[in-house]
Amino acid sequence: MISIIVTAVFVYYHRLVGRPPLNRPKFATFKFMSYLTITYKPAFYGTLLGLAPIVMGNLLITILISGHLMSIPTHLFSCDDPAGDSACVYTLFDMILDSPQNNSPDYVLLRTGRTGTAFLVLGAYSTIVSLIILIPDKGGEVKTNKLNLSRGECRKLTMATFGSSLSGSALISYTLRHS
């Protein structure tokens, strides 16, 4: 937000103080709406495409593990226990207890912990997938030997020359010793 304000101040200051070019009587018009559609429309669509699987995952976690979506109950089992939600089994995950010796578990506490852990796992997975998409893997293109061969080329040359018993690094060391 601050950067937008600074940019607006910068543009308006130069519009007021600056002189138009010598061979033109006035500045060129700034077409702000066309700028916005070119700039923000793809960013908006990309945000929607990126958020769609995350929102779906969050909805599934909330519905399946916690047993409710906001104030809408999504229970698989009904319960009218006078102790309240802490004594009621609502989802399939509530049947998995933290300890077999626990005779009176607090199901609200179990649901809260499982939901939080599932959100953390989904966040870590989304971060890893985003990083894999944004940072390309250039491992196969790196050429680190004096022969300027990639790993695939070394492997093909090794298989053709020596059979499958030697690896690419053995071929490189062999060719470097004998060259």
The yes-or-no verdict on residue 140 having pLDDT over 70 is no
pLDDT value of residue 117: 92
Q: Please indicate, yes or no, whether residues 94 and 177 belong to a single structural domain of this protein.
A: no
State the residue for tokens 């101040």.
Answer: 9
φ/ψ region of 169 (left if φ > 0, alpha if ψ in -120 to 50, else beta) reads alpha
pLDDT value of residue 167: 46
Q: Which has the higher per-residue pLDDT, 155 or 35?
A: 35
Question: What is this structure's pTM?
Answer: 0.56
CA angle, corner 32, sides to 27 and 37, nearest 5? 145
Q: Please indicate, yes or no, whether residues 107 and 148 belong to a single structural domain of this protein.
A: no
The yes-or-no verdict on residue 118 having pLDDT over 90 is yes
Q: Please indicate, yes or no, whether residues 102 and 159 belong to a single structural domain of this protein.
A: no
Q: Specify the 3-state DSSP secondary structure of 10.
A: helix
Q: Residue 62's domain spans which residues? A: 2-135
